[in-house]
Structure 1
Amino acid sequence: MNSQILYEDNHIIIINKKVGQLVQGDKTGDQSLLELLK
């Protein structure tokens, strides 16, 4: 993953993601940030 994790605990994660990186999946099937974090 090319995104930078700024903060993480048991309840939240704050990420400095790249421009254009999907946060949630869509019809294209491209890998989303949520899938990368699992």
Structure 2
Amino acid sequence: GAEMLVIATRRAGGLSGFFLGSVTQQLIRHSGCPVMVVRVE
């Protein structure tokens, strides 16, 4: 399996912002390894 997940995210508004945020939250909560979230602009 993976040793670490690196996820790039950007702030989005409205429904898409909620959806992307919820996916990131689920990955952080349920991943079996460390997760690094990097915000891109």
| Shorter-chain TM-score tier | under 0.3
TM-score using structure 2 length: 0.26
Using CA pairs below 8 Å that are at least 6 residues apart, which structure has the higher relative contact order? Answer: 2
TM-score using structure 1 length: 0.26
Name whichever structure is richer in helix by fraction.
2
